[in-house]
Amino acid sequence: MSGMLLIVYHSQSGASFRLAAAARRGALREPDTALCWRRAWDAGIDELVACDGLLLVAAENSASLAGAMKDFLDRCFYPAQPYQFNKPYGLVVSCGNDGRNTDQQVQRIMRGLPMKLVAEPLVLRGEPNRAMESACEELGQALAAGLAMGIY
Ligand SMILES: Cc1cc2nc3c(=O)[nH]c(=O)nc-3n(C[C@H](O)[C@H](O)[C@H](O)COP(=O)(O)O)c2cc1C
């Protein structure tokens, strides 16, 4: 194993969960990268310290990041400051018809942690379909492969 990818997700209806599960399938295709898979409610600074890269998967709710994912990031902010991580991360936003605020909001929060965006965020509108799941699989695999190769 040459690195560990942490996937943190939050889902109410199951939509974000399906996308996160697809990203997990993709990441598991890279045997050299370990995987840690957590609900946002169950993740915290320990997981952030232990990982080498991060993928966040959550919905837009009321024009902002779903509360549980925001809570995870808020809980990590102060404990993360001494580390100045700058670890690579990716983002998947599940949403009805917008998602732009959440994309911007997450990028702003992550700059402050700080963490480094290394892939184009996926803002996926509507009920998850095969194409969206494939895009998430590719992203999960790409992050895991990048960690294995040490390109970040
Ligand atoms: C309370 C609530 C607020 C929402 N607000 C937005 C919104 O502002 N913009 C948007 O594009 N979708 C919005 N949606 C739609 C969700 O983002 C979308 O259904 C998403 O796939 C839900 O994923 P999840 O159920 O896995 O968390 C909202 C859904 C809920 C339940």
pLDDT digits (tens), the chain, 152 positions: 579 999 999 999 999 999 999 999 999 999 999 999 999 999 999 999 999 999 999 999 999 999 999 999 999 999 999 999 999 999 999 999 999 999 999 999 999 999 999 999 999 999 999 999 999 999 999 999 999 999 99
Q: Is the pTM of this model over 0.85?
A: yes
Å from CA of 39 to ligand 1 middle: 17
Look at residue 1 in the predicted model and tell me its pLDDT: 59
Give the chain's domains with CATH numbers. 3-149 (3.40.50.360)
Write 74-82 long-range contacts (CB < 8 A, 24+). 75/44, 75/45, 76/44, 76/45, 76/48, 76/113, 77/112, 77/113, 79/45, 80/45, 80/48, 80/113
60 Cβ closer than 6 Å to some ligand 1 atom: yes
Look at residue 59 in the predicted model and tell me its pLDDT: 98
Look at residue 117 in the predicted model and tell me its pLDDT: 98
- Which atom belonging to ligand 1 lies closest to the Cα atom of 99? 11
